[in-house]
Each structure stands twice: as C-alpha cells, then as structure tokens.
Structure 1
Amino acid sequence: MKYFLLPLALLPATGLAEPRIAVISAFEPEWIALQDGLEDAETQLINGNRFVTGTMDGQEVVLFLSGISMVNAAMTTQLALERFEIEAIVFSGIAGGVDPDLSIGDVVVAARWGNYLNTIMARETADGFAIPPWMTSDFGPLGMMFTRTEAVQSARADAPERKFWFEADPALLEKARTLATDFDLPACNADGTCLSEAPQIVVGGNGVSGAAFVDNAELREWAFREFDAQVLDMESGAVAQVAWANEVPFIAFRSLSDLAGGGDGENEMGTFMSIAAGNSAGVVRAFLATLD
C-alpha cells in the first residue's frame, strides 16, 4: 500500500478530480472487513484522518472511518466531500435492532434516517413533563425527552427548512432491493460462532441515529413505536443529513450486532459483532459490483 501525507492547508478545495464512491465505516473492525477487497490502495492523511483510495469490485472508491457518533461522522463526511469528487456515499456498519421482527445478523437498508436524540429536555410540572410553549415536537416523548425537528440549510432553498427525515437515494435503494432477492448472508463467523436464525436483507423502512449507545428496552420500544424504526445507530443520520445538504446520493447498510436492550440477557454486541460487520461488508461489496 502506498502512503503519503497531504497537509490540509495545501489541498485544493476541489480535491482529487476522479469521481469516486465514498465507502464509510464507523470503526476499525467494520473497516478491516471492507479493505480485503481493495486494489491499488493509496492512503492519504488529511487533518489526522486516513482516506484510502483504490478500486473495489469494479468501482473507484475512497474508504474512510467516520468515527463513532454524530459529530465525528458529520465532520469526516463533509471533509471527504470537500477533498474528493464524491458521486455517491455508501455506509457499511453494525447497529442495534429495534423492530421485534428482525434478528441479529440481519442487514437493514433503511429508506430514510432521522436524528431522534435531538431533544428537548422538558420541565417537570404537576401535570407531567412540559416543553416551552414556543417549541414543538412531532413525536410522543420518552419521559422528559421530546424529539425536536430542527431547521436545516442547503442550496435547495434560500431559507432554512424544518426536516426530520433524510432519504436514501431511490435508485440506490432499488439496486439494494434487487440484490436482496438472491444474496445469502452467512450465519457463522470464522471462529464457529453462529446465529440461531438465518440472517436476511431488509430494504426500506426507517432508521434513527443519535449520540448514545442504546442498551435499554424501554428506549428501544419507544423508538419502534414513535419513529416506526427498524434499526438505530450513532452515525447514519448525520451522514444522511450531510449527503442531503450537499445533494449527493446516499445509502446505508447496517447489520444488527445486538437488539439495543431488547434481548433476554446482556448486550449481544461482543458475541456477534464480527458476524454483523462481515455481513454488512459482504453486502456492500456485492452492492458495489451491481453499480454502473
């Protein structure tokens, strides 16, 4: 692998001119699973972040870690968009399952993402929790937490607009639906750890993101009830918003490593993370191969 350092201040604003697909993972195990298929890899260090360019399954790509959580994900995605010619964004990673009909190992490709932990922490009154009269929430609360839809800005309009959901690209979703019909996900990892049910690819529905690791049954039930969410994570909603603001097609593949507190015992992520990360990476590589 070639490696060279590009000081941030010396990089042109347009970045590298060759169109590429940005393939993003949240943290190292997911990233390692993806890099197995990368050819002609070159690494650039930009503002402390590693960006690896090369060819994967016939596509020119740039791979990088978003970093865990919303702020990291937004920062690194915007940095990539400013330094490379990005024609689409594909996120690969693990997540917590919210929909009771889904199982660990399933790969969810949500049609839209919302940032559900952008909240008002309400005042407790004699009649329960209440938010200030000039504020509103479109969703039922969880105790003192009321989800708020904030104003977002893009070149689409002169003034900010209120928007909670950020949609995945319809054409990319259709590619994912076609792939899901005949792609078999492995149920075991290399160490012989196996899932109790054969995993599936689920395309469509809602995902939600927020700056919290969730291992709480009550919050999981609330997210399913109020947002009709199938999956929750800590990055995809931020990347979806950045993609929307920059008018770049976006899609996220999230494989369930745990049930976000909905299981009978302790959190399952430590046991099934390798299967989930491998399943997500495998689907993303097959997905890339289907693109024109």
Structure 2
Amino acid sequence: MHKTIVLAIAAVSLALPAGAAETLDETPRIAVMSAFAPEWVALQEALSDRVDHTLNGITFATGAIEGKPVVLFLTGVSMVNAAMTSQLAINHFNIESIVFSGIAGGVDPSRHIGDVIVPAQWGQYLDVILAREVDGDFVPPPFLEAPHPNFGMIFPQNVTVARDGAEPEDRFWFPVDAELLAVAETVAVELDLSDCVPENQCLTHDPGIFVGGNGVSGAAFVDNAAFREYAFETFEAEVLDMESAAVAHVAYANDVPFIAFRSLSDLAGGGEGENEMGTFMGLASANSAAVVKAFLAALP
C-alpha cells in the first residue's frame, strides 16, 4: 500500500513542469528592488496598501507606489544575491518590468556625488580570467577568449546566456528597455535633487540626472583610483556597482523589461581623501528613490 502511494506521488511530480512555481500574487506588478537597507527604507515610505510575502527569508512587499502596482524587495548586496532574488520575484509574481533603485560608485570624472545615473546598458566587468605572468607580461590561456583590455592579470570575459527559444549566446552588454529609458529621459528634466544631508554636510554642486551611457557591475567594492580609471577608459562606464548587471542578465534571459537608477554615494576611489560613502549614502539613496518615484508616476 505504501509503495503504491509513493509511486503515485512520484508520477504526479514527474507530470508537473520542471520550472513550476507557486504564484503568490496574480496582479501584474513592477518589481522595484534595492540592494541594502537605506535604499529599501526610502522606497518603503512611498508604499501604500502593503501586503508582505516571504520567500527564502526575503520579504516581498506588494502594494502601490505613485498609483502603480509594485512588489518591493531587498536583494542584499552582491551579484549572486541580486540574481537569486530577481529570479525568485519572476517565478512567484506576475512581473511586468524590473526597476532597480540604489547607490553606486561614480566612474566618469564629469559626474559627481549625488548625481543619479540611468545607464542604457550594463556589463559584468569582473567576470574575468586571472592570467599567469610570463616573462613580465600577463598571458591568458590560449583556449580562452579575452575580448577586453586587461588590468594587470585581470582579463574581463563575455558571459554565455541561455534564453527560451534561442541558442546560447556570448555577450558583454545587457540592454535596458528602450521604452523605460525614454520615460526616464522625460523625468530627468523635471526633478530637483537633494544636495545636503541632515548633519548639514552639503555637496559643492547641484546634483543632476543623467540618462544613457554604460554601467558595469561586479563582485567587488571599488575604492581604487587606478582601477576606476581603467573601468572608465575600457568600458566608458559612468558608474559601477555590485548588482545591476546581474539583474539585467536575469531580466534579459527571462525577456522582462529592465532599468536601473543609481545615485552616486562616492567616487570609487577617485575623490580626495577617504571614501565618502559613509557620509553621502543616505543622500544618494534618497535621490535615487525620488527619481524612481517620479519615474513610476510618469509611466503610462
């Protein structure tokens, strides 16, 4: 009798689709995500009609921001955390698009702390070969491609992406959705951003919103002037962080529109003196959240 029951359960399990997942909320929603607490707090303040769901210990809060149905959640810092939580949201909610709001390090010398950057594409610049040194030069293995200039022993690679109905492809850049980017451009000309923190430490310039260009992400906190310069010269990056390109990768693989808003909390080693993230991460989080709220309000 017990054997029959076990076989019946096994048969039912085999009949289910391999990727089947419970949908926790049927409402079409925009996934609005952040990496860590200050960003998450700034967005929660704008959330109405909140209902919480928990998956793998992560809180997914459904509700509305600026009248748009959203599911709001915290990814945690790191490429792996960002990819994992993005896929969880896609699997368990009816996700129409993905919006990332957070802080980052500035790479482009013409950008400043407090600015909000909205790149048109994202690359994973620390998916790399660590090459051996041969006669004073760093040389990657001959059986691996090294399509990008190196920084010492570090040779960035492209990544292989699998998508439903398509052959796996190698790529570096993951595009932001063109329609979402167009909405961001309309918001950029209308909004004023904060330039002082509560302790009355103020920026020496008025922060702005810059739409377009390149962003890069990798599993490292960068506070090094030489590496910052390399990232700017090699990838023409305006900004670098530790999550956005991973989310862009997941969104691309699932054919979900994606956009990321990143406000500069520091200059990734390019500023005078010590890193200023500790001083300006609250201001940067608030600026990014303000632009995201205006963006959501402007969506059709």
Provide TM-score, normalisation by structure 2: 0.92
CA deviation after TM superposition for structure 1 residue 181, in Å: 1.1
Cα shift readout 1:139-174 (whole Å, capped 9, x = no counterpart): 1100000001121101141x2100110010000000
* Matched residue, 1:122: 131
* Matched residue, 1:67: 76
What secondary structure does 1:21 align onto?
Answer: strand
Cα shift readout 1:27-78 (whole Å, capped 9, x = no counterpart): 0110001111111111111111000011110100000001101000000000
Distance 1:230 1:54 in 2: 32
* Matched residue, 2:292: 284
Unpaired runs of 5+ in structure 1? 1-10
CA deviation after TM superposition for structure 1 residue 134, in Å: 1.3
Alignment of 1:165 with 2:173, yes or no, is: yes
Amino acid at match of 2:186: T
* Matched residue, 1:223: 231
Q: How does 1:73-84 map to 2 (within 5 A)?
A: 73-84=82-93
Q: How does 1:155-194 map to 2 (within 5 A)?
A: 155-157=164-166, 159-194=167-202
Candidates 22, 27, 31, aligned match of 1:13 = 22
What secondary structure does 2:291 align onto?
Answer: helix
* Matched residue, 1:145: 154
Amino acid at match of 2:76: G
CA deviation after TM superposition for structure 1 residue 137, in Å: 1.6
Q: How does 1:43-62 map to 2 (within 5 A)?
A: 43-62=52-71
* Matched residue, 1:92: 101
Cα shift readout 1:1-39 (whole Å, capped 9, x = no counterpart): xxxxxxxxxx95344211000000000110001111111
* Matched residue, 1:131: 140
Candidates 213, 221, 246, aligned match of 1:205 = 213
Query: Which has the greater radius of gyration?
Result: 2
CA deviation after TM superposition for structure 1 residue 234, in Å: 0.1
Distance 1:193 1:60 in 2: 36
Fraction of identical pairs, as percent: 59
Candidates 211, 215, 240, aligned match of 1:232 = 240
* Matched residue, 1:195: 203
Distance 1:53 1:17 in 2: 11
Contact preservation (8 Å) 1:15, 1:82? no
Amino acid at match of 2:283: I
Provide TM-score, normalisation by structure 1: 0.94
What secondary structure does 1:137 align onto?
Answer: coil
Distance 1:12 1:143 in 2: 44
Distance 2:85 2:220 in 1: 19
Distance 1:171 1:180 in 2: 15
* Matched residue, 1:3: none
User: What is the aligned residue count?
Assistant: 281
Unpaired runs of 5+ in structure 2? 1-19
Distance 1:58 1:92 in 2: 18
CA deviation after TM superposition for structure 1 residue 193, in Å: 2.2
Candidates 232, 257, 261, aligned match of 1:253 = 261
* Matched residue, 1:102: 111
Amino acid at match of 1:196: T
Distance 2:196 2:51 in 1: 32
